[in-house]
Amino acid sequence: MSNGTVAAMDTERDRDEEGRARNSRPRDGLGRPLPRGAEGVERLEEGTVRSPAESLELAQRLLDEGKPFHAHEVLEDAWKSCPPAERELWRGLAQLAVGLTHLARGNQTGGRSLLERGAENIAGFATTAPHGIAVGSLIDWSRLTIGQLSPDRPAPDPAAIAPQLSAK
């Protein structure tokens, strides 16, 4: 394959300079890809390093707006840039947000699994509640949300059931 062919494939497949897959298609509020040229929700720059307070504030705003996929991306950036001792905390928060994304998309099995894993990952921080994160309340929210799942229920409005990340 010539270099010209590789470059053309990379453009078609949305690859970055290092060859990693990057989907540049617009996305809706739940992170689903839309057709090229469609009006989507503005995406945040991946890999942005923010303070814990900035991450929590932005993620909460996105959750409250019914954009849990985008909140997950903010929390994932925090997970990837935080000190090693906090990795499970931020990973768990990202899992809770993507679990809510799955529920809002109608995927109860995936939503349940991610809410369970997210709650497990943050549980070790319940006594310290770093950065004012409402760890106990988030675990309770996860359990309550899982307990309300039923095949008979429609997918929830993510903004209506969004958790509060910080104690107020």
pLDDT digit string, tens, across residues 63-93: 999 999 999 999 999 999 999 999 999 999 9
Q: What is the spatial distance between Cα 143 and Cα 35, in angstroms, rounded to a whole number?
A: 36
What does the DSSP assignment read for 102-133? HHHTT-HHHHHHHHHHHHHHHHTTTTT-GGGB
Predicted model pTM: 0.82
Domain boundaries, the chain: 1-36, 52-147
Quote the Cα angle for 31-35-38, to 5°.
85
CB 94 within 8 A of CB 75: yes
Spatial CA neighbour of 99 closest among 72, 129, 64, 70: 72
Structure-token pair, residue 102: 């799955």
Q: Which CATH architecture has domain 52-147?
A: Orthogonal Bundle (1.10)
pLDDT digit string, tens, across residues 39-59: 877 777 777 889 999 999 999
Outline where 32-67 has alpha helix (H): 52-64
pLDDT digit string, tens, across residues 100-140: 999 999 999 999 999 999 999 999 999 998 999 999 999 99
Count of C-beta atoms within a 10 Å radius of residue 23: 11
User: Exposed, middle or buried by CB within 10 Å (0-12, 13-18, 19+), for 112?
Assistant: middle
pLDDT score for 47: 78
